[in-house]
């Protein structure tokens, strides 16, 4: 039986509305007239159905499918659905036609229309060996929130099952928490073999990523010249110790000089006198060096203390050289 005969059989018994429209002459020869006539959705659906019949008979299958589809949207009828399925089968949209045939068979079974039920079921079974099937290879790295095929949501129960699609270009889109929405375009060939579509992992969504933590700011030193003052105090203490050492060896050098006495006459000294003289010279040299180092260290330490910034709070430290019997000593004092 040819598609035209099938289509005419499916278009029978559409009801009194169709007869009224045709007999009353309301149907205009052009679609533009129908749109301007103010007819209801049901009347317009009947008009589009008749237009689809004419286009199908004249071989304008794509335009006929569009008219049948719009007619079904405006006025759902089983005859329109089965005509649309036949039209889609004719233009090669096998997966769409197969789904529509199954819906039509169930609808016809509920209405008790055995002829239409058998017709739809026979066509659906005949198409099953021709259906291109696609298996989506979804990424496993993150939890997937949704999968869309050609803009239509795919139930999660079917994500990992074969998807039957018409031959041609298609798009699968994914979304996941914290990820950018991704999509992949692929082409389905007119073949019943299984086709794998690999969907790559989604990229991180920069807009949703938490901002980087700011680098920790080192605490400001409440006493920036603390080290400077400590060095100054150490130098002052070292200078005081060197001065004390210099004074000690200076006193020893004087004592040794006094011991020479009669041991040396002019430039001639006894052996014991020569030794005492050498000891006096050594003590004098040590005293001189220690004194010079002590003065230098004390001067530098005093300069560091004098030029450092004082603490805002806390004890104030002062260093000074105090005279004492037999020499001088370094004293460090604090005001609390």
Cα–Cα distance between 178 and 175 in angstroms, integer? 9
pTM to 2 decimal places: 0.53
Nearest residue to 235 (alpha-carbon basis) of 280, 294, 177, 176? 294
Q: What pLDDT does residue 76 have?
A: 94
Cα–Cα distance between 155 and 147 in angstroms, integer? 8
Nearest residue to 252 (alpha-carbon basis) of 215, 207, 288, 216? 288
Q: What pLDDT does residue 320 have?
A: 52
DSSP code for 189? -
Cα–Cα distance between 331 and 318 in angstroms, integer? 8
Cα–Cα distance between 51 and 35 in angstroms, integer? 13
Find out whether 287 and 279 touch, Cβ atoms under 8 Å: no
What is the crossing angle of helices 94-111 and 114-128, to 10°? 150
Quote the radius of gyration of the chain (alpha carbons, Å). 54
Q: What pLDDT does residue 191 have?
A: 86
* 44, 45, 89 from 67: Cα distances, Å: 11, 9, 15
Q: Which residues of 244-259 are buried (b: 16+ CB within 10 A; e: fewer)?
A: bbbbbbbebbeebbee
Q: What pLDDT does residue 63 have?
A: 96
If the chain, 336 residues long, is cut into consecutive pieces of 10 residues, what is the mean pLDDT of each piece? 50 37 34 55 94 96 96 95 96 95 96 96 93 90 87 91 92 90 91 88 73 73 71 79 80 74 68 74 82 82 73 52 52 50
Residues belonging to the chain: 336
Taken in order 154, 194, 127, 191, the sign of the CA dihedral is positive
Q: What pLDDT does residue 301 have?
A: 72
Q: What pLDDT does residue 10 have?
A: 60
Find out whether 232 and 301 touch, Cβ atoms under 8 Å: yes
Q: Quickly count: other Cβ atoms within 10 Å of residue 152's Cβ.
A: 7
């Amino acid at each position: 039986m040819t598609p035209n005969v099938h289509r005419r059989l499916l278009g029978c018994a559409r009801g009194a509305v169709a007869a009224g429209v045709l007999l009353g002459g309301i149907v205009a020869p052009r679609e533009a007239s129908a749109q301007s006539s103010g007819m209801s959705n049901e009347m317009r659906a009947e008009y589009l159905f008749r237009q689809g019949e004419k286009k199908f008979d004249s071989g304008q299958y794509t335009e006929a499918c569009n008219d049948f589809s719009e007619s079904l949207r405006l006025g759902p009828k089983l005859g329109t659905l089965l005509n649309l399925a036949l039209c889609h089968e004719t233009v090669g949209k096998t997966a769409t036609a197969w789904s529509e045939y199954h819906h039509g068979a169930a609808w016809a079974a509920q209405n008790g229309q055995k002829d239409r039920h058998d017709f739809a079921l026979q066509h659906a079974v005949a198409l099953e060996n021709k259906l291109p099937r696609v298996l989506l290879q979804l990424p496993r790295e993150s939890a997937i929130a949704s999968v869309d095929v050609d803009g239509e949501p795919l139930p999660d129960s079917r994500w990992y099952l074969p998807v039957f699609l018409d031959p041609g270009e298609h798009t699968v889109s994914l979304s996941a928490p914290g990820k950018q929405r991704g999509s992949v375009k692929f082409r389905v060939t007119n073949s019943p073999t299984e086709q794998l579509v690999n969907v790559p992992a989604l990229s991180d969504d920069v807009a949703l990523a938490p901002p980087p933590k700011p680098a920790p700011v080192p605490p400001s030193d409440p006493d920036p010249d603390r080290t400077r003052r400590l060095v100054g105090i150490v130098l002052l203490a070292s200078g005081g110790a060197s001065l004390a050492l210099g004074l000690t060896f200076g006193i020893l050098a004087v004592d040794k000089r006094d011991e020479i006495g009669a041991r040396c006459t002019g430039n001639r000294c006894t052996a014991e006198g020569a030794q005492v003289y050498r000891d006096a010279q050594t003590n004098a040299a040590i005293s001189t060096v220690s004194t010079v180092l002590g003065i230098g260290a004390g001067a530098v330490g005093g300069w560091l203390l004098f030029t450092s910034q004082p603490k805002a709070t806390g004890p104030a430290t002062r260093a000074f050289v105090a005279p004492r019997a037999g020499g001088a000593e370094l004293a460090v004092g604090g005001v609390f």
